């Protein structure tokens, strides 16, 4: 392959060069699945040619970066040899069976014995193994690497890392829109990159297998009681919104009328509220948890009881979680839960899309059955779930047109994306008003309230960014500034200083405030209640 004519030819091979050659080899010969999948989504044409080429360079850069960080006199060769051999096999399995080598696949493989593995063996596999695995491994094994002094090797390493980062940086800068789409809308594509994805999955497998003892749930607020002289019971419906960014609410000054119905209700609009995370999985458990954003982690969240559990400890509140989104993200594990994304429960579904208003159907029965208790119901909305905003509302709500009718948002104009998104917000405006109307029926016998809080915001193409989920510290406000609205009937209003609340409703709040606000609303006495965080005090 390489024609070296010097006296001691092989000695000219440095560690850096070996890493570059191996990375190039892996990109060219072990990523057939990846590139063919990419071409299915981004066909080869004049607009895509630049981003597609850069994708090859970025994959190369990521592999170089990985190898460089793990390289040393004693580790470089063994690591490269193992990687080319394993990658030849993952390449074979991906091409032949179209599988993805993820953490559960590795778990399965580890539990498979040798005899079962032999059943899968084929001539084709042997060919892959010999030519893409053993042959390059043999070359790496035989290569005599010329190691320079520590300082020179360190400088070479820094250069390689800088090169890799420069490739990634330039690509992201030149084709930002393409990479946003690639990373957010076509997640599965990266599952077939080789060797990066199987190495990532192996790491995940190891950390999940050896790092996670059984989760012990820590109880909090077991002292919770309701000592209220109220003769009236309460009904509180909490709506957890989806991807509703505050600056698209006309209540917050958006130039389009996206809250035509809510503005007629006597609501309090908390115009300056921020989320805990930028994804459903992060924000939903965090907003109900006792921990503040700065203190919250996934593990702490699932191993500590949340505010719904504390309400349950009072034994005086009937609880229900209805979900038309994904699930409760662990919040409703210990209270009654109903899946309303299924036509089995939700009576208002069309073409596989179940509507949020369907969650209101039948709630009367639940209230009737729990007549001696306060009621707390959570409705987890489908809301503005992207990228297919145009599917999130019935035809009657298509007020802003033309709309983007594909899941590849970057192919639509910004106006079309915004139109579809705003129509979905209009539908939420309708749903929240329907919820308020539902509560009004109970005004004579109950104190009632509706609390609405979105889980996170959404990017709609600003700076080439779409959807949500960016790391919090780099995410734009569009993904963090969330819609938050409350409504109280006349009797419930007597519990607070409504005038003052309205005057201060543009104060900065966050999902950290929800925990104590809900406890305060039900007048729960417990050591975990913090009055200074209660939005209504």
For residue 434, say if its preceding peptide bond is cis, omega within 30 degrees of 0: no
Q: Is 416 in the site for Zn ion (CB under 5 A)?
A: no
The size of the interface with Zn ion (CB under 5 A), counted in residues, is: 3
Closest-by-Cβ residue to Zn ion is: 280
Q: Is 422 in the site for Zn ion (CB under 5 A)?
A: no
Shortest CB 372 distance to Zn ion, Å: 35
Is 374 in contact with 317 (CB distance < 8 Å)? yes
Task: Kindly report the backbone phi and psi dihedral angles of residue 478, in degrees, each rounded to the nearest multiple of 5, phi listed first.
Answer: -50, -30
Q: 268-287: which residues touch Zn ion (CB under 5 A)?
A: 280
Q: Identify which range of 25-33, 350-358, 430-438, 451-459 contacts Zn ion by CB under 5 A.
A: 451-459
Shortest CB 328 distance to Zn ion, Å: 12
Is 483 in contact with 286 (CB distance < 8 Å)? no
What is 231-266 written as a DSSP string? SSEEEEEEEEESS-BGGG-GGGT-SS---TTGGGS-
Measured at the CA of 467, the angle between CA 462 and CA 484, to 5 degrees, comes to: 95
Q: Identify which range of 194-202, 236-244, 355-363, 521-529 contacts Zn ion by CB under 5 A.
A: 236-244
Residue ranges of alpha helices (H) inside 111-195 are 114-120, 123-128, 135-142, 150-174, 176-184
Is 233 in contact with 375 (CB distance < 8 Å)? yes
Shortest CB 242 distance to Zn ion, Å: 5
Is 514 in contact with 453 (CB distance < 8 Å)? yes
Q: Measure the CA–CA gap between 496 and 517, rounded to whole angstroms.
A: 12
Shortest CB 456 distance to Zn ion, Å: 5
How many Cβ atoms from other residues are within 10 Å of residue 320's Cβ? 19
Instruction: Assign residue 256 a region (left: φ > 0; alpha: ψ between -120 and 50; beta: otherwise).
Output: beta
- Which of residues 31 and 275 has its CB atom nearest to Zn ion in the complex? 275
Q: Identify which range of 114-122, 408-416, 427-435, 448-456 contacts Zn ion by CB under 5 A.
A: 448-456
The H or E element spanning position 82 is: helix 76-97
Shortest CB 455 distance to Zn ion, Å: 4
Shortest CB 127 distance to Zn ion, Å: 46
Q: 238-267: which residues touch Zn ion (CB under 5 A)?
A: 242
- Which of residues 313 and 468 has its CB atom nearest to Zn ion in the complex? 468
Q: Is 455 in the site for Zn ion (CB under 5 A)?
A: yes
Q: 477-506: which residues touch Zn ion (CB under 5 A)?
A: none
Q: Identify which range of 55-63, 223-231, 249-257, 450-458 contacts Zn ion by CB under 5 A.
A: 450-458
Shortest CB 243 distance to Zn ion, Å: 5
Q: 10-69: which residues touch Zn ion (CB under 5 A)?
A: none
Q: Identify which range of 221-229, 234-242, 427-435, 505-513 contacts Zn ion by CB under 5 A.
A: 234-242
Q: Measure the CA–CA gap between 321 and 338, rounded to whole angstroms.
A: 6
Interface positions with Zn ion (CB under 5 A):
242, 280, 455
């Amino acid at each position: 392959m390489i024609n070296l004519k010097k006296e001691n030819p092989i000695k000219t091979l440095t560690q850096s060069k070996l890493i570059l050659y191996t990375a190039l080899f892996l990109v060219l010969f072990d990523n057939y699945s990846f590139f063919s999948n990419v071409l299915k989504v981004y066909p080869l044409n004049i607009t895509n040619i630049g981003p597609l080429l850069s994708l090859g360079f970025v994959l190369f850069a990521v592999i170089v970066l990985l190898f460089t960080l793990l390289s040393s006199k004693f580790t470089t060769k063994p690591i490269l040899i193992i990687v080319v051999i394993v990658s030849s096999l993952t390449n074979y399995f991906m091409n032949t069976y179209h599988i993805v080598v993820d953490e559960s696949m590795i778990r399965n493989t580890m539990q498979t014995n040798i005899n079962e593995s032999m059943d899968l063996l084929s001539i084709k596999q042997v060919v892959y193994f010999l030519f893409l695995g053993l042959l390059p491994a043999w070359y790496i094994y035989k290569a005599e690497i010329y190691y320079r002094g520590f300082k020179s090797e360190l400088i070479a390493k820094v250069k390689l890392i800088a090169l890799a980062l420069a490739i990634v940086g330039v690509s992201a800068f030149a084709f930002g829109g393409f990479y946003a789409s690639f990373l957010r809308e076509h997640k599965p594509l990266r599952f077939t990159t080789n060797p990066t994805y199987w190495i990532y999955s192996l790491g995940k497998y190891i950390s999940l297998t050896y790092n996670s003892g059984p989760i012990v749930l820590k109880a909090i607020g077991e002292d919770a009681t309701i000592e209220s002289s109220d003769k009236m019971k309460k009904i509180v419906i909490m709506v957890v919104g989806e991807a509703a960014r505050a600056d698209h609410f006309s209540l917050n000054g958006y130039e389009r009328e996206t809250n035509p119905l809510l503005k007629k209700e006597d609501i309090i609009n908390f115009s300056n509220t921020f989320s805990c995370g930028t994804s459903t999985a992060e924000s939903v458990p965090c907003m109900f948890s006792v921990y503040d954003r700065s203190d919250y982690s996934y593990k702490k969240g699932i191993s500590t009881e949340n505010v719904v559990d504390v309400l349950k400890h009072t034994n005086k509140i009937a609880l229900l979680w209805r979900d038309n989104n994904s699930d409760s993200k662990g919040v409703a594990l210990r209270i009654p839960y109903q899946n309303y994304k299924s036509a089995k429960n939700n009576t208002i579904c069309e073409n596989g899309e179940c509507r949020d208003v369907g969650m209101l159907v039948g709630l009367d029965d639940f209230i009737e059955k729990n007549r001696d208790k306060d009621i707390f119901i959570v409705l987890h909305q489908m809301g503005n779930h992207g990228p297919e905003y145009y599917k999130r509302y019935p035809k009657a709500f298509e007020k802003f047109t033309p709309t983007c009718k594909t899941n590849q948002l970057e192919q639509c104009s910004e106006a079309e994306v915004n139109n579809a998104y705003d129509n979905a917000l209009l539908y939420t405006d309708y749903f929240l008003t329907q919820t308020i109307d539902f509560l009004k029926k109970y005004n004579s016998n109950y104190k009632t309230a509706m609390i609405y809080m979105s889980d996170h915001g959404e990017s709609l193409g600003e700076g080439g960014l779409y959807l949500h989920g960016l790391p919090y510290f780099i995410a734009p406000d569009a993904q963090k500034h969330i819609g938050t609205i409350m409504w109280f009937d006349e009797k419930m209003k007597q519990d607070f200083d409504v005038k003052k609340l309205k005057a201060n409703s543009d104060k900065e709040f966050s999902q950290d405030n929800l925990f104590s606000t809900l406890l305060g609303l039900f007048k729960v006495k417990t050591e975990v209640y913090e009055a200074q965080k209660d939005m209504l005090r």
